[in-house]
Amino acid sequence: MNESQKNWIINHPNYHKNYYKANAEKEKARTMAWRKTHIKEVAAHGRKTLLKKNGMTVEEYDKLFKIQKGCCLICNKPETRLFNKKVSKLAIDHNHSCCPGRFSCGKCIRGLLCYKCNQVLALVNDDKKLLKNAINYLENKGGIV
């Protein structure tokens, strides 16, 4: 971008916003058509964005995946959950006491988990006592009967 282009952008800060607002349907159709013909680029960008929100690069994720031999750290099985007819990537598990919510700072990543094991931890809010009670319950076949 040359100097005159930079100046034009500075002098017309709302040009793109106004254009897209005035041509919303046309731009939406153009974007959807592009996305349909660039599926791999869209998927790669989505993955890269998700990893960035977790403080990871694609290379760091791939290294962790290789160290874990493509398997979940809890059940030691590969991911089986399907999303858009493809097997999902292993989920990035992090310490929620460091980073509450869906995303991590990148410093508190514990490992990669399959969807089911990640959901188990999420449903019990990483509560070790609750998980121990569940194990005791299963070992005692319920306890009451």
Q: Strands 82-83 and 86-87, how do they pair? A: antiparallel
Q: How far is Cα 77 from Cα 71, in angstroms, rounded to an integer?
A: 5
Name the fold adopted by 70-139. Answer: His-Me finger endonuclease fold (3.40.1800)
What pTM did the predictor assign? 0.67
Residues with Cβ within 8 Å of 112's Cβ and at least 6 positions away in sequence, in order, are 61, 64, 65, 68, 72, 73, 90, 91, 92, 93
Residues making up the chain, counted from first to last:
145
Domain boundaries, the chain: 70-139
Q: What is the pLDDT along the chain (145 residues), one digit of tens a residue?
A: 889 888 888 888 888 888 888 999 998 998 888 888 887 777 777 678 878 888 888 899 999 999 999 999 999 999 998 887 888 889 999 988 888 888 888 888 999 999 999 999 989 989 999 999 999 988 887 666 5
